[in-house]
């Protein structure tokens, strides 16, 4: 629904009406399938030429969420729900509506999961894996959502650093600063103590390329710098708060 003040621009009305019709069409197409049926289509979305497709990436996440959950101090009783959510995470990237309206990633996963009769807990985790999406955004709050968001970011960091995609002072094409800053925000916001080196080593074992200890150390230093920036920003004592990682 749009509310406009002043003279109505007929071209603008036409534009928004066309976008609405597109969205309605794509949504109708998506609802002919269950969210789980889109997962295999992630194989058509490249993550990185050396790291495989988005399906490869999400299988790595699925294989490591249980151990990452334990490192985060999550109750073991939550692991089945976490694994169920991981089996569907990011599947909405292959839906028609998210392909056309990329900002709806996560939002549509939650909607389609609820439509398919999945639990609110799993549906929320499918949304929370995308958080935070931008400065000032909310953070994951549920245990499954926290674990998915952390594991996905760990996979991106260790894989892309191992593939030689470290950002320079002027270029960060994979958004690794944003990814690592989001990681430390999630940990600090949820007061999670976390052995980062151990977690990265665990995630590195799932990568399709060899990740040596030097890469792990490089990622630890990179994430630590983001943590220090966050602590300065929120005026915390860095010596007391570095235990979060």
pLDDT tens for 45-91 read: 999 999 999 999 999 999 999 999 999 999 999 999 999 999 999 99
Q: How far is CA 38 from the centre of its chain?
A: 17
* Cβ-based neighbour number of residue 197 at 10 Å: 14
117 Ramachandran zone, left/alpha/beta (phi>0; psi -120 to 50) = left
Give every CB contact of residue 229 below 8 A, 6+ residues apart in sequence. Answer: 181
Instruction: Give 178: exposed, middle or buried? Use CB within 10 Å, 0-12, 13-18, 19+.
Output: middle
pTM: 0.91
pLDDT at 236: 52
pLDDT at 234: 83
Tokens 């994951």 map to which residue?
140
3: pLDDT confidence band, cut at 50, 70 and 90? Answer: low
- 192: which DSSP letter? -
The token duo for 120 is 């609110």
Mean pLDDT, rounded, for 176-200 = 97
Q: Is residue 109 scored above 70 in pLDDT?
A: yes
The token duo for 169 is 């002072």
């Amino acid at each position: 629904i749009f509310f406009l003040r002043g003279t109505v621009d007929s071209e603008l009305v036409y534009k928004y009406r066309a976008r609405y019709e597109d969205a309605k069409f794509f949504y109708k197409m998506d609802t002919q399938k269950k969210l789980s049926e889109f997962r295999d289509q992630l194989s058509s979305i490249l993550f990185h030429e050396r790291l495989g497709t988005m399906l490869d990436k999400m299988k790595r996440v699925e294989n490591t969420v249980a151990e990452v959950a334990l490192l985060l101090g999550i109750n073991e009783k939550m692991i089945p729900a976490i694994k169920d959510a991981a089996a569907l995470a990011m599947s909405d990237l292959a839906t028609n509506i998210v392909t056309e309206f990329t900002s709806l990633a996560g939002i549509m996963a939650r909607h389609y999961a609820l439509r398919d009769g999945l639990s609110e807990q799993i549906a929320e985790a499918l949304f929370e894996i995308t958080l935070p999406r931008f400065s000032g955004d909310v953070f994951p709050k549920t245990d499954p959502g926290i674990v998915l968001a952390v594991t996905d970011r760990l996979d991106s960091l260790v894989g892309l650093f191992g593939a030689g995609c470290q950002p320079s002072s002027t270029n960060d094409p994979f958004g690794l600063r944003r990814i690592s800053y989001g990681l430390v925000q999630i940990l600090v916001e949820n007061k999670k103590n976390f052995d980062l080196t151990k977690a990265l080593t665990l995630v590195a074992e799932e990568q399709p390329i060899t990740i040596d200890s030097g890469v792990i150390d490089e990622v630890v230093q990179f994430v630590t710098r983001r943590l220090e920036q966050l602590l300065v920003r929120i005026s915390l004592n860095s010596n007391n708060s570095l235990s979060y990682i």
